[in-house]
Amino acid sequence: MFVDNVKLYVKAGDGGNGCVSFHREKYVSHGGPDGGDGGNGGNVIVRVDPGTNTLLAYRYKHKFIADNGADGKNSKFHGKTADDLYLPVPPGTVIKDAESGLVIHDMSDGEDFLLCKGGNGGWGNTHFATATRQIPRFAKGGMKGQEREVIFELKMLANVGLVGLPNVGKSSILSRVTAAKPKIANYHFTTVSPNLGVVKIGEDGGFVMADIPGLIEGASDGAGLGHEFLRHVDRCRLLVHVVDISGQEGRNPVNDISLVNKEIKAYSEELSSRPQIIAANKVDCIDPSADLTEFEDFVKENGWEIVYISAATGKNLDTLIALISRRLSKLPPMATYDTEYTAKPVEERKTQEIAVKNVNGVWCVEGAWLENLINSVNFDDRESLMYFQRVLKNSGVIDQLTEHGVKDGDTVDLCGFEFDFVI
């Protein structure tokens, strides 16, 4: 089973809460606060696994949540930081934001990528002791871990892509010039998923070749298998257009090439401009009296090079490989995808990510950062309550409530905490 596009919900772990505790020991009358800090939540990290070439691991499981950090304890014991959650992906995977479709990161660099950061652990009441506040009866709650919906999209890391109509011999060529063992049979759509192989040249040289399932008319609109796998030639620096030159199936090679190129262009203008080599396959089955003038003129007009080959007998395959190698040496490096998605700064989110609505006369205010604020407040402690009021004022929440028409005496529900609004 080949899976190359999945949508996932991922969430980093929440930070543990700080502890409110006071040191108690025999013969020690003024022990003071000794609440420990909470541990950090686990991060969600995407890691390249060179041994895989499919996203099959995510076919049935679409939700991944890292562990939360442990709460702090007394005697200044810190809570345990949670382990990171690693998501393995094949080389060439592109991570996109599910809502906007923008690229978050291209994993082709092979480096680990921090997708969601775990929440920081909250401070214990030890941090809030001052000369004038010697008995702090509050601690800071742990921060929420980041969460998001993303799309993992696999775009294979191949230098050369074999394209063409079904049953023209692409898989046979790949099996001949690489160690790959794709399924080969004499019927259309034998290949139902892309195959990769490494073509070795000399001691250290070589390149990666991909066999893309056969394209048919309407592939760019979703017909056949082409639309599903056209993305895998996005990175290819060179296209080898395989065409059946034997005429055994009554097809015109000029029409075949034009049809496939039309579908590639409909999918991507940029992809259609990539250099091509025409591999005229099944030359061993060609009629000796066949007139190839029209075909050769058509190829020459488009500035392409032809290599007449036979994947069945191996004829001229070494010539094709040598030509591909020479062309690759003059082409720019493989394409990578720049980051398009940028998250808003925390300061900007504080005032923007807040929802105010009136429900049966109660003004409800919601916002992820407000939940973290409430977790850090001890509403039975006067100093902690004053801190809560200052944050609401300085962050613009009070101003937004006023703009929505909230008046003195109205009931406000702040993430489940209700109070009477007073300006």
Is 3 buried (19+), middle (13-18) or exposed (0-12) by CB count in 10 A? middle
What is the 3 state secondary structure string of 212-270?
A: CCCCCCCHHHCCCCHHHHHHHHCCCCEEEEEEECCCCCCCCHHHHHHHHHHHHHHHCHH
pLDDT for the residue 72: 93
Q: Which of 155 and 326 is assigned the larger pLDDT?
A: 326
pLDDT for the residue 343: 67
Q: Which of 132-141, 346-355, 383-392, 400-409 has the lowest mean pLDDT?
A: 346-355
CB 66 within 8 A of CB 11: yes
**Is pLDDT at 225 greater than 50 in this prediction?**
no
pLDDT tens for 144-163 read 899 999 999 988 778 898 88
Encoded tokens for 219: 């592939």
User: What band does 175 get if pLDDT is binned at 50, 70 and 90?
Assistant: confident
User: What band does 44 get if pLDDT is binned at 50, 70 and 90?
Assistant: very high
What is the value of pTM for the model shown? Answer: 0.73
pLDDT for the residue 165: 85
Q: Put residue 153 in one of left, alpha, beta given phi > 0 → left and psi -120 to 50 → alpha.
A: beta
Domains and CATH numbers, the chain: 1-154 (2.70.210.12), 160-329 (3.40.50.300), 346-420 (3.30.300.350)
The residues, any chain, with a CB within 8 Å of residue 20's CB and separated by 6 or more, are 33, 35, 124, 125, 136, 137, 138, 139, 378
pLDDT tens for 185-220 read 454 444 446 777 878 887 767 888 888 775 655 544
Q: Which of 87 and 352 is assigned the larger pLDDT?
A: 87
Residues found in the chain: 423
What is the CA angle 378-381-387, rounded to 5? 70
Alpha-carbon span 68 to 144, nearest angstrom: 9
Alpha-carbon span 49 to 339, nearest angstrom: 21
